[in-house]
Amino acid sequence: MAVRRGVLRRLAAHPTGRAGLLLTGALIAAVLVGPLVIEHSPTAIDLARKLRAPDGANLLGTDQFGRDQLARVLEGGRRSLGAAALVMVGAMGISLTIGVTAGMAGRLLDAVAMRVVDVLLALPGLILALAVVGVLGPSFTNLMLAMVISSWAYYARLARSYVLAARQRGDIMAARMAGIGWPRIVAGHIVPAVATQLIVVATLDLGGVIVAIASLSFLGLGVQPPDAEWGAMLSESRLFFSTAPWLLAAPATAILLAVTAANLIGDALRDVAAPGREGTG
């Protein structure tokens, strides 16, 4: 707990981290509060007002069905950002469970778990996601499921190594010598420590997850019409690049802002949580 609060404070002190946190905060606020303020619905069709450039009534213009773009971008943001968070939480949960089990259990269980992880890691993530969506069918839920399946293995391998390192820690060994049982140690010390480290690593990949969700939706393999999502909106607006460029500018900018926010936080985290490791600066 103390470690997590300290990391947030250090992030806020770091210039890049501060920028990332502010941008993220603004995005989340916009996406959550916006739909309550805007009177347009993201799916309401109004053919009389189709393909209007941004004006007083529609701040980001309308698409070929007369749907308000601002409402769709915000709704899409809720979907994309929410999905990214869910995918991360899902992948973290599974990898934490398997990693801790592999690190604490006997050699057989460890070996079996790591074999499975190795097989999954031998495939590029997007290919695996494509295969899963291919079998389950294109839908937003299946997209999230596919992304969880294709990303947990990497974190599981990391979690296991963190667990193995934690087992050697002085305070853990002292607790054992004091007679405290493994279940309490694992639950109270090892899991929180490993989880914190995993969250740091996962945050570095958040931008990639957002891009992957948008890319798969762009291919038509995620959100189905008329639901709004940034990647899907770009796919739907391809034909209007020269006639209605605002239709592409809005979701494109949204994606860039979200990914940049995630990358800013990730870069700052790398400096703050693991000082003196990488010398790429």
State in angstroms the smallest separation of the CB of 60 from another protein.
Answer: 17
Among 206, 234, 250, 269, binds another protein (CB under 8 A): 234
Q: Which of 153, 132, 138 is nearest to 205 (CA)?
A: 153
Q: Which residues contact 154 (CB under 8 A, 6 or more apart)?
A: 95, 121
Quickly count: other Cβ atoms within 10 Å of residue 137's Cβ: 10
Q: What distance in Å separates the CA atoms of residue 45 and residue 267, rounded to the nearest whole number?
A: 42
Number of residues that bind another protein (CB under 8 A): 44
- The stretch among 2-10, 59-67, 162-170, 258-266 that binds another protein (CB under 8 A) is 258-266
In terms of phi and psi (left: phi > 0; alpha: psi -120 to 50; beta: otherwise), the region of 44 is beta
Q: Which lies closer to another protein via its Cβ, residue 36 or residue 135?
A: 135
Residue 41 DSSP code: -
| x/- letters, 68..97, toward another protein (CB under 8 A) | ------------------------------
CB 198 within 8 A of CB 162: yes
Question: What does the per-residue mask of binding to another protein show for 105-124, with x meaning CB under 8 A?
Answer: -----------x-xxx-xxx
- If one asks whether residue 168 binds another protein (CB under 8 A), the answer comes out as no
CB of 71 to another protein, least distance (A): 22
Nearer to another protein, 7 or 149 (CB): 149
Q: Residue 182, interface with another protein (CB under 8 A)?
A: no
The span from the first CA to the last CA of the chain, in angstroms, equals 29
Beta-carbon contacts of residue 231 (< 8 Å; ≥ 6 apart): 80, 213, 214, 215, 216, 217, 218, 219, 222, 223, 251, 255
Using CB under 8 A as the binding rule, whether residue 278 contacts another protein is answered as yes
Whether the CB-CB separation of 96 and 158 falls below 8 Å is answered with no
Q: Report the site for another protein in 206-225 (rule: CB under 8 A).
A: 207, 211, 214-215, 218-221
* CB-CB contact of 103 with 87 (8 Å): no
Does 269 engage in binding with another protein (CB under 8 A)?
no
- Sign of the C-alpha dihedral computed for residues 256, 261, 266 and 272 taken in this order: positive
Question: Distance (Å, rounded) from C-alpha 248 to C-alpha 91?
Answer: 31
Stretch that binds another protein, among 29-37, 63-71, 85-93, 255-263 (CB under 8 A): 255-263
Q: Of residues 28, 38, 59, 131, which one binds another protein by CB under 8 A?
A: 131
C-beta of residue 166 within 8 angstroms of C-beta of residue 194: yes
> Given the complex with another protein, which of 25 and 124 has the nearer CB atom?
124
Taking the least distance from each CB to another protein, the nearer of 56 and 279 is 279
**17 makes contact with another protein (CB under 8 A):** no
When the beta carbons of 101 and 260 are compared against another protein, the nearer one is 260
Applying CB under 8 A, the residues found at the interface with another protein are 116, 118-120, 122-128, 130-138, 149, 207, 211, 214-215, 218-221, 231, 234, 238, 241-242, 248, 252, 255-256, 259-260, 263, 278-280
